[in-house]
């Protein structure tokens, strides 16, 4: 029988179509981006942001034509992460310097925030919030915090060290569909509301590549894609082909899967037969 994950992806994200009654998952490669990259991001419009080995960021539009460059690579050091959840406001996180740089859609700098000046000295991750502010996890205080583009503190969660006997160390934050997720691969998935109040800590351990999809999250769990939706009891899984499983990074946007593979290039697959 066709797995429930197939139905989730087919009917809610138009991603995967089953072949007969098979659970086979054989996405077709439709594009190979020639640039050598160390990281990438994709926004919901299909724009691709390539991080080059020299820390330059190159933006490609939906036709894979270059439409922007970010060359200010000497000031902030090594880029830790790109968040392109909002195509009009791209976040760059420089973990070593505890700095968030905000770019506009042309990759011009709108603002930079030195988190140390806010009294926040050790941050593990940042993410764009539903209201276009910024979530971050303050490791020293054990709190998820929301700040605005100028660095003003808007709200913060309770101290997880007080709430939990063995508190999660959040390495990934996802804001999606009225829920705020914090993930610690050794402790599980923390489910919160938009005020940072904890609803549940689910023992989903060892996941990677968390990203929003439909009404929930999709992630890599072992050799499989796994889908979680709040309020649902089951977490359907779908085996990944070996060549995709070995990718350094995977992102699913619309009907496409983007995979940064060992050749340092991004292979783009159509998630339909």
Asked whether residue 13 carries a pLDDT value surpassing 50, the answer given is no
Please give the pLDDT value at position 4: 54
Residue with tokens 């299909």: 46
Asked whether residue 15 carries a pLDDT value surpassing 80, the answer given is no
Evaluated on CA atoms 262, 128, 136, 168, the torsion sign reads negative
- Measure the CA–CA gap between 212 and 194, rounded to whole angstroms: 16
Averaged over 253-260, what is the pLDDT?
94
pLDDT, tens digit, for every residue of 93-127? Answer: 999 999 999 999 999 999 999 999 999 999 999 99
Specify which of 3-17, 19-33, 248-262 reaches the highest per-range mean pLDDT: 248-262
Asked whether residue 10 carries a pLDDT value surpassing 60, the answer given is no
pLDDT, tens digit, for every residue of 140-193? Answer: 999 999 999 999 999 999 999 999 998 999 999 999 999 999 999 999 999 999
Q: How many CB atoms neighbour CB 113 within 10 A?
A: 23
- Between CA 115 and CA 127, with CA 121 as vertex, the angle to 5 degrees is 55
Please give the pLDDT value at position 126: 98
- Check residues 271 and 35 and name the one with the higher pLDDT: 35
Asked whether residue 226 carries a pLDDT value surpassing 60, the answer given is yes
Averaged over 17-42, what is the pLDDT?
76
Domain boundaries, the chain: 1-31+217-273
- Measure the CA–CA gap between 173 and 126, rounded to whole angstroms: 7
Asked whether residue 16 carries a pLDDT value surpassing 50, the answer given is no
Give the H/E segment covering residue 11.
helix 4-13
């Amino acid at each position: 029988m066709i797995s429930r994950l197939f139905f989730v992806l087919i009917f809610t994200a138009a991603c995967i179509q089953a072949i007969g009654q098979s659970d086979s998952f054989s996405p077709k490669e439709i594009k190979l981006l020639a640039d050598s990259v160390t990281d990438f991001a994709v926004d919901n419009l299909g724009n691709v942001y390539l991080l080059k080995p020299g820390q330059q960021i190159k933006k490609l539009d939906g036709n894979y034509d270059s439409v922007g460059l970010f060359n200010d690579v000497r000031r902030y050091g090594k880029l830790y992460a790109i968040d392109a959840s909002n195509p009009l406001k791209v976040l760059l996180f420089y973990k070593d310097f505890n700095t968030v740089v905000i770019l506009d859609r042309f990759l011009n700098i709108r603002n930079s925030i030195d988190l140390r000046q806010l009294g926040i000295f050790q941050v593990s991750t940042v993410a764009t919030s539903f209201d276009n502010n910024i979530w971050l996890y303050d490791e020293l205080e054990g709190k998820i915090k929301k700040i605005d583009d100028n660095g003003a503190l808007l709200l913060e969660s309770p101290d997880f060290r007080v709430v939990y006997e063995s508190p999660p160390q959040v390495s990934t934050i996802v804001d999606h569909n009225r829920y705020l997720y914090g993930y610690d691969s050794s402790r599980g998935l923390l489910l919160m509301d938009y005020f940072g109040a904890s609803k549940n800590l689910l023992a989903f351990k060892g996941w990677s590549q968390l990203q929003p999809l439909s009404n929930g999250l999709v992630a890599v769990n072992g050799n499989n894609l796994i889908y979680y939706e709040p309020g649902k009891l089951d977490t359907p899984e779908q085996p990944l082909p070996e060549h995709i499983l070995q990718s350094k990074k995977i992102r699913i946007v619309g009907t496409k899967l983007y995979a940064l593979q060992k050749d340092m290039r991004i292979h783009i697959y159509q998630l339909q037969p």
